[in-house]
A = this chain, B = another copy of it.
Amino acid sequence: MKINQFANQLIPGCQPLTELAHLRLLATDELETCQPKELWQRLLWRVDCNGTTDAQHELRLHDYLATPSMALDEWLANDQPITDEIFARVALQLLDFEPALDFSLADPLTDAQGMNLQLPTYELWNQAAVARGFYQLLLTRTKHGQTWLDYLTGQGLLTWTYQLPAKQKPLLVNGQPIACFDPHQFIYEVVYVEMDHDTDFDGQADLIKVEIMRPADSNHGLKVPTVFTASPYNQGTNDRWGEIITHDVNQPLTHLAPDHQASQETKFTNPQRCQAVTGHAQVATETFSNTPGYTLNNYLAPRGYAIVYAAGIGTKDSDGLQTCGSPEQTESMKVVVEWLHGIRHAYTDRTSGITIKASWCNGNVAMTGRSYLGTLSTAVATTGVPGLKAIISEAAISSWYDYYRENGLVMAPMGFQGEDADVLAAETFSRTKRPADYQRITAINQKYLAQMTKAQDRASGQYNDFWRQRDYLPHVKQIKCDVMMVHGLNDWNVKPSNVKHLYDRLQSLPGDHKLILHQGEHIYINAFPSLDFSEMVNLWLAQKLWEVDNHADQLLPNLIVQDNVKAQTWTAYDHWNAPAHQVALGEEIIQFSDRQPETQYQQWCKDPGQWAKALLGQTNRFSYSIPLTALQSDYYQGTPHLSLTVQSSLDHGMISAYLVDRGAERRLTISPTMIERQGIQLGYHWQTDDLRDFKLQAQPSDYKMISFGHANLQNPHDPEFAIDLAAQQWVTVEFDLQPIFHHLANHHHLELVIFGTDYQMSLRGNENITYQVDLSKSSLTLPF
């Protein structure tokens, strides 16, 4: 087991002693009046939250071993001095690591080092050393994916802080707010923010429902910052409607006529009228009980951050239509930030015209969330809206073209064949959950959706106005807030190109930009014992939102990457990109046929995983594999690029490539494994999270696909400009593969696999096409 803590770097001068005193763990005179061992015992008694009597505290110490054979209470009574080893042995037990399983009682110091734990060592364990060492231990992670302080907080250590005057909060430890806000006293409110557009054609500016959970202290003179999650899913989804309109992908690619023009999407108008203001309320009059939460937000809530959710246009209790990533959807989230920042109206309800201010907010807002939620964080950031100080965008789309299309091809996120912008719009249009409201809007929504289906243009797969409206990349230069990005290197849903494009553009902008690349798929990373992501966020947001001078921008690495060979290994880097090297692919002209026997085709359509196994696991006639055994680098980092000179036997075609790591190995699982259900206490009698992490596979696998790319032969250089194409015409197609940050294990090699139809992602018409590739006029460019 390895613990990687990046947010725990600050142990300067007197701070530990002052903060222990603030935590009521150390009295001012104790450094003078107590012997070191007595002080240690007092500290240990004070953090024993479950016992209240001396007998109970005493017995607790009787449960720990100070030496391999002597209990801590007995050892504390003898006259032996504290040593690094004694302290480490007890420390590991306090952190819930188990003797024999997690560390050896004989040599705890070495084992702690092996676990990557920074335990205190001192020449002389005097009183100050004991206090500092204890403080350092409070900031160290237990086996359960939390610092010891947070673990003790879950046992009730900090309940006394709930009663402190609001203005003394938040209490900070090591630059981070601690859980000193009573979650049982949270205030739950709903307000409606008015935006500038009318997206449901009723003549009225759209109202957006906002759900707020904030500490009671924010009613008593403490202005708190806000963490806002924009989630179109939050008011419910229409999974069945989505299934019904999912597109059939078992159809051929077609020749694109040079004069092809996609249909324009519906334009929205400015509203004829806004709500007339009739008065002002000091307190909200609508409440809510539960909303689907993000556990990171639940972790932050008792640390004093107000937590806000909005689902935006086209959702239950809001106005408007679902536009799937359009500027209007972005606006519907931006206006929430504006209200929190004090520069926009909100109302207590949808009809009365009574306004209400976010007077409890300090005006500083961060946005959080994964996938669509992270996407909208990015989108709102590109508006440069005042008040938005930071975003944590996880697995976020930076251009919807990169989500549903690729180089002139319709290309589904893996696992979601047939999904498109219109399907996602239908799935998230939760006004269905209010039957009469839905009845009134049905015809308008159907008409809008039908137009969206045309404008997204599945017939051509070209980059067009529809996708330009949903491309945030041209607006990245307007980003004014700090940005923390998180993305999975195995995320084939929102593919890594999305974060790479954003990351690259941010490099030339001022501001604090962080990126964490993990080895998972489309997941959250805030429940791993091996990485202190929650603490990093708490530290970082303390700087951005509470304006604490904690140097988070400098302390946290700009890039952290999880190693794909070694488990639980997270490493700081300066840059993603390495120099490009061009790799020759061969001298021959190769060919393969895309056509499959009908039963094979049907089977693979039903179970595309079988196709992937046939592609990579065995010799076949529908692909060509090039082992890149001459390459010698251990690390490949950046965006591979492919230049292929190809011809199709028909007047249209697609060329696809997988980059594969070959070599028998117990690789990391790409989905985290459950370690302890509800194992993480996010506060005292508050929400929980399931502790989980990546593990090495039980059985070795022979290969792993690490990157891919696909291109339409009619889009050799640009997804927006198609060339005409004749059957058997040679064309040189240039395209990027998905960016990588890959550790190639010993005795492994990379392999490039070239083929046509991708059963997991592309259209699959089983056409009788033969592809030829002239390898002498083709090359792969790899970054290392």
Contacts and interface: CB of A to CB of B under 8 A. Distances in A.
Contacts of A69: 439
Interface stretch (A54-62, A198-206, A418-426, A513-521): A54-62
A663 interface: no
Which residue of A53, A99, A241 has the most chain B CB atoms within 10 A of its CB atom?
A: A53
A288 to B, nearest CB: 6
B50 A190 contact: yes
Contacts of A349: 51, 53, 55-56, 59
A433 interface: yes
Given A63-B434, A65-B435, A433-B98, A53 B684 contact: no
A93 interface: yes
Contacts of A285: 51-53, 56
A290 B435 contact: no
Contacts of A437: 62-63
Question: How many copies, total?
Answer: 2
A564 interface: no
B289 A65 contact: no
Contacts of A184: 184, 685
A684 B289 contact: yes
Given A55-B349, A439-B65, A50 B432 contact: no
Contacts of A678: 290, 292
Contacts of A58: 351
A155 B190 CA distance: 14
A71 B436 contact: yes
Contacts of A62: 436-437
A613 interface: no
B289 A681 contact: yes
Nearest to A63: B434
Nearest to A152: B289
A290 B65 contact: no
Interface string A58-86: 11001111001101100000000000000
Contact of A55 (B52, B105, B290, B352): B352
Given A59-B349, A292-B678, A287 B50 contact: yes
Contacts of A292: 677-678
B64 A155 contact: no
Contacts of A290: 154-155, 678, 681, 685, 688
Contacts of A288: 50
A537 to B, nearest CB: 22
A436 B64 contact: yes
Contact of A432 (B98, B105, B684): B98
A351 B60 CA distance: 12
A156 interface: yes
Contacts of A439: 65, 68-69, 71
A49 interface: yes
Contacts of A495: none
A747 interface: no
A681 B63 CA distance: 38
A156 B64 contact: no
Interface string A533-570: 00000000000000000000000000000000000000
B432 A286 contact: no
A678 to B, nearest CB: 7
A156 B351 contact: no
Contacts of A68: 439
B287 A65 contact: no
Contacts of A96: 433
Contacts of A50: 190, 286-289
10 contacts: A50-B287, A53-B348, A55-B349, A63-B435, A64-B435, A64-B436, A65-B435, A98-B433, A99-B438, A154-B289
Interface of A: 49-53, 55-56, 58-59, 62-65, 68-69, 71-72, 93, 96, 98-99, 101, 105, 154-156, 184, 190, 240-241, 285-290, 292, 348-352, 432-439, 677-678, 681, 684-685, 688
Given A58-B351, A154-B290, 18 more contacts: A50-B190, A50-B286, A50-B287, A50-B288, A51-B286, A52-B287, A56-B286, A56-B349, A63-B435, A64-B435, A65-B439, A68-B439, A93-B435, A98-B433, A101-B241, A155-B289, A184-B184, A289-B684
